Structure 1
Amino acid sequence: MSFRLRAARSEDIEPLYEMAKLTGGGFTNLPADRDALGAKLTTSVAAFENTVDELADEQFVLVLENAETGAVRGTCQLMSQVGQQWPFYSYRLTTLTQYSQELDRTVRAELLSLVTDLEGSSEVGGLFLHPNERAGGLGLLLARSRYLFIAMHRKRFADRILAELRGIIDERGGSPFWDGVAGRFFGMGFQEADYFNAINGNQFIADLMPKHPVYVAMLDEEAKKVIGLPHPTGRAAMRMLEQENFRYEGYVDIFDGGPSMITRTDDVKSIAQSHNGPVSSIELEKGEKALLATGRLTDFRSCYGAREIRADGSLAIDAQAADLLGITEGDTVWSVAR
């Protein structure tokens, strides 16, 4: 396989823009807007160039590159600490239990409360793979490479990490959740609100959204049944997150009602089980299938390959992976079993 992940550069804007146009909406981290993407890449380049090894408000964009052709065919992102410039809003689904002694009746009501509980967390997001490349495990390569990047730059990320999954979007590009909840207060459709959020941030939610809880029983049926459900194209992503020890704990996106998955950073399977050591051989012919990564910040690269962990902690890897990563014997490689 000739694909590898690397740090995004400013000249990647055109392939990112072309992929953004394929998302179909509801994909806030990859807006189909050149200026917004250009600003995102500028922010990312600055983050990669910052060598201070501490937690800050940073955003890293990675791209999936075909090493043979140079074509960019996918992307993913990491945010080191959300909610620093603007509040990071979520809805939290909770239950209120009330009892009437006179009626001898207990009533339980589900509520959606506007919260900033997840503020300060790191976030993984913005994962998009070109439709023509959705085979051969490239989506998994995109997803799990982010965790190796975190492991390799651990001081740059918080102790809790989240992932927001896109919610249900109907065939006309609308959101039943938005129409049933927030849309009633804003006088704009989902696509307009989602685009505005992608370009300008969600401070307008704080400005206009009522702060009192919303009773789920008062919503229409279409809005109720999509709360906490991922878009059909995101079900596999949700399973991958669950396999990495992420859990849904009642937090949903304020726009489309999609689930927010959270976990402790050090509990992420690909981080906890990662191994690093010097390369003792680049001529391994048969070994364990693995995800391999090397390089700090701008020099970060990852790919699939074969590894063998030696008794002294060093690694033997296959020649193709060594070529994709641009490494030789003595270089340090991080890895996790595939």
Structure 2
Amino acid sequence: MTHVIRAATERDLPHLYEMAKLTGGGFTNLPPDRRALRAKLERSDAAFLHKDAQPQDELFVLILENVKTGEVRGTCQIFTSVGQRHPFYSYRLGTLTQHSRELDRTFRAEMLTLATDLEGASEVGGLFLHPGERASGLGLLLARSRYLFIRAHRARFADRILAELRGVMDEAGGSPFWDGLAGRFFAMSFQEADSFNAVNGHQFIADLMPKHPIYTAMLTEHARSVIGMPHPSGRAAMRMLENEGFAFENYVDIFDGGPTMIARTDQLRSIQDAKDARFVGVAEGGTESLIAAGELADFRCTLGCVQESENGVMLPEACAQALRVAAGDRLTHVARV
């Protein structure tokens, strides 16, 4: 395999910035702002250096690198516990049922209620793969490497994990959900709010938005139609999350109405099915797998073939070199299928 997942460093700032400019907006975990990206890398570096295994408000930034050329082709992020610095707000989509005896009719009203129910959960996010690599299967490597990292550092993560997907935007880069709800309370366009949100967080929205439930019937039809719907570019990511064990449990982003996917950490497919083994030698062929080795800043993950034996596992030479493992080193592997 020619690509490997590794810990991000400050040298990756130019690469992250170039990728951020390709996201097309609404991608708050990867803003096209050097100061914000530098702060993320500094926070990530501190997390990689921190040895305490207790769950804290930490961020790990991972990078997808072509080991032959040194090019950075993607990135992803893992948050250990959301809502510790600032409340983690979501809209919970629910139904209020009322019955009128006089009319002999039952009325069901769909409502959006501001909630912090997901506070304390871990989060996977910030996944971006360079457009030129999207037919190569590297998105799967980026996505599932996060779960192998979590498994290797399980004590640092919560029992519940979430993933927020970007909501629907129109051709002009606007958000129907923003225009139908939050935009009515702020003197700024979605693009302006999106830029501010990416750098400063969406606490300003939570502070100024009305705290009472919102009846969706009061929204425009277009705004209602996109509640809980992912951006078209995120549909494949949603399917991967569902295959991993995530489900939509009626929580949506307060900013663009995108779906929040939730799972129990220990029930994630990659965590449940992964096996630990010792690297015992080089061999070609075997089961195509995701393979990870190392901890914290030394963590590396790649795709390759695994041959299992009584004493351990064997890997192709290029795969072993990408992981930087020697005979006797411990690694984790899980089948790609």
Tell me if TM exceeds 0.5.
yes
Tell me what 1:334 maps to: 332
SS at match of 2:39: helix
The alpha carbon displacement at 1:308 in A equals 2.1
Correspondence list, 1:44-83, <5 A? 44-83=44-83
Could you tell me whether the CA contact under 8 Å between 2:48 and 2:297 is conserved in 1?
A: yes
Task: Summarize deviations over 1:240-296 as a string: whole Å, max 9, x none.
Answer: 000001000100111111100001000110011111111122x22110000001011
The alpha carbon displacement at 1:320 in A equals 1.4
The alpha carbon displacement at 1:236 in A equals 0.4
d(CA) in 1 for partners of 2:187, 2:130: 34
Task: Summarize deviations over 1:290-327 as a string: whole Å, max 9, x none.
Answer: 00010110001010011122235x22222111011111
TM-score, normalised on structure 2?
A: 0.98
Correspondence list, 1:192-271, <5 A? 192-271=192-271
Could you tell me whether the CA contact under 8 Å between 2:81 and 2:122 is conserved in 1?
A: yes
SS at match of 1:228: coil
Could you tell me whether the CA contact under 8 Å between 2:202 and 2:255 is conserved in 1?
A: no
d(CA) in 2 for partners of 1:153, 1:78: 12
Q: Give the residue type in structure 2 aligned to 1:276.
A: D
The alpha carbon displacement at 1:41 in A equals 0.3
SS at match of 1:186: coil
Q: Give the residue type in structure 2 aligned to 1:310.
A: S
Correspondence list, 1:1-338, <5 A? 1-281=1-281, 283-312=282-311, 314-338=312-336
Q: Give the residue type in structure 1 aligned to 2:301.
A: S
Q: Give the residue type in structure 1 aligned to 2:318.
A: Q
d(CA) in 2 for partners of 1:135, 1:50: 36
d(CA) in 1 for partners of 2:198, 2:130: 20
Task: Summarize deviations over 1:192-226 as a string: whole Å, max 9, x none.
Answer: 11211111112212321100011011110110100
d(CA) in 2 for partners of 1:254, 1:208: 12
The alpha carbon displacement at 1:57 in A equals 0.6
d(CA) in 2 for partners of 1:162, 1:143: 13
Q: Give the residue type in structure 2 aligned to 1:269.
A: R
Q: Which runs of 5+ in 1 are unaligned?
A: none
Q: Give the residue type in structure 1 aligned to 2:124.
A: V
d(CA) in 1 for partners of 2:304, 2:71: 20
d(CA) in 1 for partners of 2:124, 2:24: 20
The alpha carbon displacement at 1:54 in A equals 1.5
Q: Give the residue type in structure 2 aligned to 1:333.
A: L
d(CA) in 2 for partners of 1:41, 1:241: 25
TM-score, normalised on structure 1?
A: 0.98
The alpha carbon displacement at 1:189 in A equals 1.1
Task: Summarize deviations over 1:73-103 as a string: whole Å, max 9, x none.
Answer: 1000000000000000111110100001111
Q: Which runs of 5+ in 2 are unaligned?
A: none
d(CA) in 1 for partners of 2:144, 2:270: 7
SS at match of 1:28: coil
d(CA) in 2 for partners of 1:284, 1:101: 76
Q: Give the residue type in structure 2 aligned to 1:125.
A: G
Identity of aligned residues (%): 63
Task: Summarize deviations over 1:177-204 as a string: whole Å, max 9, x none.
Answer: 0000111011211111121111111221
Task: Summarize deviations over 1:113-141 as a string: whole Å, max 9, x none.
Answer: 11011110000000000111112210000
